[in-house]
Structure 1
Amino acid sequence: MGKVKVMSYTISLDGFGAGPEQSLEKPMGLGAEDLHHWLRQTKCFAQMIGQEGGSVGVDNDFAEKGFENLGAWILGRNMFGPVRGDWPDREWKGWWGPNPPYHVPVFVLTHYPREPLVMEGGTTFYFVTEGIDVALAEARAAAQGKDIRIGGGAATIRQFLLGGHIDELHLAMSPLFLGKGEALFAGIDLPALGYGGVERVEGEHATHILIKKV
């Protein structure tokens, strides 16, 4: 059975995974425009958006590892889009356009039902209203023994951490402060949950932290 992983999840120096007041215009929230600067410089990101170029090196290596051996993703609803409440229509189809970079089944946590959304390149979004355990079970079935990536946001990762489901975390620490926003680890006792074995690798634009269960 594959592992459940958090990969390339970026946090600020003060531990926030997004700023406050996320919107269509500011999907990462106020003040967080440069949070993913490290990722946007990489060759991996350029390929994700259909462009050429981008840097190679430590940051790119970590970005690419985040797509290895993946059989499914799980996303919080904010990672799918800015729409709140019931779905007013079916016009919103994600941040990435007609060909998202997932290329595997993606399970979106939501309180509001929606029919599966088939996209180009092998991505299908499934909308799960029964919570993280059902989403994980459906993702495992779809992954067929490969790894499952928990894509965020912070609230989603926190739920899976508290449920004891995450085997490994790769965090990219960006060198900026947000001051407020979505705190990833606030109130979570990682050692009590069995996490340790921390490894640090310095990249070109971010510090990469690897955390595993011990």
Structure 2
Amino acid sequence: MTAASPAVRVLLCDDHAVVRAGLRALLSSTEGIDVVGEAGSGSEALDMAAALRPDVVLMDLQLGADMDGVTATHRLTSADEAPPRVLVLTMFDTDADIARAVAAGATGYLLKAEPPDRLFAAIRDAAAGRTVLSGSIADQVVSRLRAPGPALTARERDILGRLAEGLGNREIARALFLSEATVKTHLGRIYAKLDVRTRAGAVSAAARHRLLP
């Protein structure tokens, strides 16, 4: 007689207590999945993951002011010893969110609209190291590869963030320790990549593509 496989140990990370309670109740209804803890913030998830050693962290992207899900994912998957798999579970399906999560080390990206059976299977697949994507997300990834959207450098994102705060070129240069000429050069590249001509247009396009911090 073959011994049963050990249950997948799951840590929930979502800043809404009601969502965590719903997920715990849902996951407790299926065999082979054991919810070992709940974190309400990114920093709490890091501490709990270090103490509980889950196989999979079910991670929301929006976690309030503490730390976003992408940053928490990167720190979790960069752990020196036996890092957990991170399965993003979110309502957001923009290209920028998907790209950032995958680049941070997420094993999968699932939308909260998925049916329970799909979530159960995704957790097991993530624990086994298999990539997991919602069907619509997989379609977007393929479309993105065929027709990539605007890709900004880290410095361009920094400048765009300051631009969104309403800072002028001189203030941006001072904040980022750059010359005004360098800021103008970066802005020109940003405008070209976003296909806009004004500062307001750049901020609007960045918000649409979720390129802002």
Question: Do they superpose with TM above 0.5?
Answer: no
Relative to the length of structure 2, the TM-score reads 0.28
Relative to the length of structure 1, the TM-score reads 0.28
By percentage of residues, which structure has more strand? 1
By percentage of residues, which structure has more helix? 2
Max Rg structure: 2
